[in-house]
Amino acid sequence: MIKVLYEDNHLLGVEKPSNMPVNEDSSRDPDLLSACREYLKEKYRKPGNVYVGLVHRLDRPVGGAMVFARTSKAASRLSDCIRRQQMHKTYLAVLDGVPSEQSSTLIDYLIKDHTANMVTVTDSSHGKRSELHYEILSVRDGKALVLIHLKTGRSHQIRVQFSSRGYPLMYDQRYHPSPGNGQIALWAHRLEFPHPVRKEPVVLVSDPPMTDPWNLFKEEYDRYKEEEKKEKTEASAEPSWN
């Protein structure tokens, strides 16, 4: 059963489980796109095929917030929203190591080897410009809990940009030189975008599971969530002037 974060006639926002492919791949494992179709088919007793539009992706091992379109019009408008960089993506990660700066913007040029499914940093003449901004929420035992605002959505971008600087994500089996056994500590925490029809802001929020290594920062994360909630309440309480 999928966890629904948002639903109306145009959109379906869900929480992607870790290690579930977004759509069917060679493994033939259960995929999120099919699960969303089945959910809508059962809930609304729809005969035949159910339309669910895929407009963005998450790496298979990564969990968190995703949005799907329920109509072709919504899919087209969401895709245009992404092209215009109007969909804001915020991630949480636990780094194996602590960056020297409390917050910073990382810019690299990345190139992908599709055969090996690996991404590396290269020069500007060969790679695609990749940018993110991070801030450290907490540091403990040589590890850092970071909030990441993704500016560009390149394949494996977050994983490669931190790994190339010596701060790989905990349990990243592809880019950590000594990953150990565990689930990659990267989570799609928040999606913000204008509704494709009503144009009002839509916000999807998903919290990482409090398992290793996230549970190392449980107190700090609970505090961050309270501050986030307080900021949201204060913002909604501000008077609007005609």
Please tell me what DSSP assigns to residue 198: T
Report pLDDT for 47. 87
In which element (H, E) is residue 229 found? helix 218-237
Average confidence (pLDDT) per 10 residues, the chain, 242 residues: 96 98 90 97 92 96 98 98 96 98 98 95 94 98 98 96 98 97 98 97 97 96 90 64 40
- Which option is the CATH number for 3-220: 3.30.70.20, 3.40.50.150, 3.40.640.10, 3.30.2350.10? 3.30.2350.10
The residue written with tokens 């449980």 in the block is 218
Q: Where do the domains of the chain lie? A: 3-220
Residue 79 and residue 86: Cα distance in Å, rounded?
10
Strand partners, 194: 201
Q: Given this model, what pLDDT does residue 239 score?
A: 52
